[in-house]
Amino acid sequence: MSPKVRRSRAWTVLLALTLALAWVAAAAAPRSEGPLRIFLPEDTAVPGWTRDGEPQEFEGEDLYIYIDGGAEIYEEYGFARVVVQDYKSTAGKSISLEIFEMKTAAAAFGMFTFKRSGQGKSLALGGGGELEAYYLNFWKGRFLVTLTGFDGSEGTVEGLLSIGRAVAAKLPNGGEAPGLVAALPAEGLRPGSVKYLKGLLGLNNVYPFYTARGLAFKDAVRGIYDSGETLILLDYGSAEARHAAWLELRRELERSERFEPAKNYLADAVAFKDGKGQYVAFGEAGARLAVGIHSTLDWALATVARVR
């Protein structure tokens, strides 16, 4: 058999194996039964509100058709599909409902924390929700629900809450916040500030390191505290992976023009000052890299020390 034929067969086997693994992964991914529209409230479910038009459903890469320029963050967390339905009231108000099915409950929780501002009213809806002006988000299990009104009137806000409760009642139970969230020290933590992250898009939204080197973390969480300090925990899965990543990230920061090493301090941590005058301190803690950020060096170092 010629080398060319052997290579051709090898590539055929490799391609078949790759497709088989992809199929198995897709089949193993949890998914609700039937179309997502089964979770939409019927016209009789919310008094005074009825469906306006037909629902639209988007799955996989079709999300880019529905969301122009914002689909990437959903993909980073783990998007499966979405159904969209408009509602209208007898008083002439309008609300748009989106039910996103994510690949995991952690993905749904993460997108919820990414979308909420932390400045709205916390709601005991599903696994947790937030209402701000005429914008409501909540998550439950693998599902993220977003309702958008078009004014802040009492009738619109009541509609947001009523439709939201009707959706929550139809969604299946299950799902907890990722365990990494509990690693944030509770004292002084602003609950609405917590953001769960799965990649660089989310991380750059809370703090830009201006590099991807050393930032291939498994997952991460960000919290802001009452004294203004920010704590980010990057989990790499093992102490070995964390240590290797930290060495790579530290080298990048040391040669970056956006960061300069902090000077004249004694602490079991490494600290830099960024281009905005904030101090960024780093400490290794098992599989996690702790990052403390504050306008003063002492607070940045103290923030890291809380998780060691």
Asked if 36-170 and 179-305 have one fold, the answer is yes
User: pLDDT by residue (tens digit) across 210-224?
Assistant: 999 999 999 999 999
Give the mean pLDDT per block of 10 residues along the chain (308 residues). 42 37 40 85 94 96 92 98 98 97 98 96 96 97 97 96 97 92 96 96 97 97 97 98 98 96 84 96 96 96 90
CATH 3.40.1000 for the 179-305 domain, yes or no: yes
Residue 24 has a pLDDT of: 35
Query: Strand pairing partners for 225?
Result: 189
CATH 3.40.1000.70 for the 36-170 domain, yes or no: yes
Sorted by where each begins, the domain ranges of the chain are 36-170, 179-305
Residue 8 has a pLDDT of: 41
Those residues with Cβ within 8 angstroms of residue 194's Cβ, 6 or more apart along the chain or in another chain: 113, 181, 184, 221, 222, 223
Please calculate the CA angle 266-270-275 and round it to the nearest 5 degrees. 110
Please calculate the CA angle 39-167-55 and round it to the nearest 5 degrees. 50
CA distances in angstroms from 100 to 26, 74, 105, listed in the order given: 18, 9, 11
Instruction: Look at the pTM and tell me if it is higher than 0.95.
Output: no
* DSSP letter, residue 225: B
Compute the residue count for the chain: 308
The span from the CA of 50 to the CA of 261, in Å, is: 60
